[in-house]
Chains A and B, each alone.
Chain A
């Protein structure tokens, strides 16, 4: 490997070699465990091939199978564990997790808010939990009604006439929205080639546009962190299919000129896709339909409090404008003569005047997430949902107000539900954004989003959410202030470089992981395979 492996402004990605003068006290443990933090190996390292926790009858190998060439000829090599061994393995791994149930999780743009237990109770009702998507419609009327009711809430909250419920996550929702846009433009006989994205966009925006076959071009931000309207207008033309914009954007700022943006787009024959990842800041205050948005995904797993981030599947319904409504993908719910059904085939949709662009997934969407989201909506009511947004914005502004004299806030003035800092306050300290984030881990905090958005240097994007108490926010803020002072004192640079020191693993080598990824476990010795 050549040359320098770190940079001052950018992200330092390789662990520093431990220098002799820093005394990180770490006694060599006999077991590798650290107190009750158990050093847990891979399940393949535990398992023995001749052990199993389940009593299977030995198959009668005189029975003829019909697998032909597909019959396995070698030992499968799955680890065999008893039930207590399997339970311990996964419990030990789970104890290494940090979750919203463990502590404050200020991950900007990811909205790690509390998942109310009432939602869980509702999702475990027998009539929802034990359904199969292939049951006859007559036997699942309640479930279909629930999807329809949720769809109605989403349409009312966004002021949009139609919604596609099947997308399984935010990025899947983006795909759905852009496919609807493409279908609409092609239907007009005006297929276009280019999708514009803001330079502060989530990475999924350009990725989605590219996946849909569009060339992607970025529109710059102004110095106040918002879309450069003049640059956007200058770029519009007959080749532009759509503009993808997040509002509030990833700098935590409301795009004040969004109506002018949507009008300019529509005048140029293009459509506006809104990334709804930050919808949680404006629910009950702003309806995207009133802003001229043509399609927007809603992360139920952020805005409407369903678990996510490894804790549960996402769900990304997409609301659509009048122009895009006919292209809503199959299947969708139909309510006629007091009975709910799913429109599953194109002919049926066409009979109703629809032009579905196809099907995004086998079934109708994430039922479990639908139950939880509707439970959240109905338990809060529309006024409660507005209060949630207001409190999320208040929390972020409280963090901003208390930190702005200690850290460097990127854009002056009030923010929405998240506040963006950059690394100017660390200038000449030798401490990078990454060092700072790692030091937070040692203090028991999950770091904020770092190095995103890309429009500022060494970004730190903090989203506290509405579910943190003032005491919890104060403790968090006090920790950041103390870390800031430590960094500025000039006496702790090396300690920052060494962080985290209290974790099961020290700082990971991200560069090495990206350049030489090891994606598959292989046995040290091929005995597993040879055991047959």
Chain B
């Protein structure tokens, strides 16, 4: 999926005009192991770039999820609260966390693309 951009903290973001969908990468989901709990923010909140937007808890650890770019949270994926396993099953699809209305869609370009992220992950192993 070449339209995704990534952060070093393993969030992905998919921009569509002013709106961007955010989740965690397949690599992050695999590293976390089975996700057992997701804490989501409330819609309407303004977040800065790298501001905390969610907490994900797996059988291994609890981790914060950060906003890849600044914006307003306009929608959260409440189905993750019911069934956190979606994060493991389809991290870059149905396992999305929030939708942001971006302050500046241009900021997206500062993030890693698929290829750069793949190289980055390889360097971690």
Contacts and interface: CB of A to CB of B under 8 A. Distances in A.
A511 B34 contact: yes
Contacts of B36: 511, 514-515
A399 B59 CA distance: 29
Interface in A465-522: 510-511, 514-515
Contact of A3 (B32, B61, B85): B85
Interface in B82-110: 83-86, 88-90, 94
Interface of chain A: mostly helix, strand, loop or mixed: loop
B59 A7 contact: no
A3 B59 contact: no
Nearest to B31: A10
Interface of chain B: mostly helix, strand, loop or mixed: mixed
Contact of B60 (A1, A2, A451): A451
A408 interface: no
Interface residues of B, number: 22
Interface string B55-70: 0001111100000000
A514 B90 contact: no
B33 interface: yes
Contact of A11 (B59, B83, B84, B88): B59
Given A7-B31, A7-B33, A13-B34, A515 B84 contact: yes
Contact of B33 (A1, A3, A10, A203): A10
A510 B88 CA distance: 15
Contacts of A11: 33, 59-60
Given A11-B59, A511-B36, A515-B36, A2 B31 contact: no
Nearest to B91: A3
Given A1-B85, A511-B59, A10 B37 contact: no
A149 interface: no
B30 interface: yes
A454 interface: yes
A4 interface: yes
A415 B125 CA distance: 24
A1 B86 CA distance: 8
Interface in A1-38: 1-5, 7-14
Contact of A2 (B37, B61, B62, B89): B89
Given A13-B59, A451-B60, A511-B59, A2 B34 contact: no
Contacts of B58: 10
Contact of A13 (B33, B61, B90): B33
Interface of B: 29-34, 36-37, 58-62, 83-86, 88-90, 94, 125
6 contacts: A2-B83, A4-B89, A9-B125, A11-B59, A203-B62, A510-B34
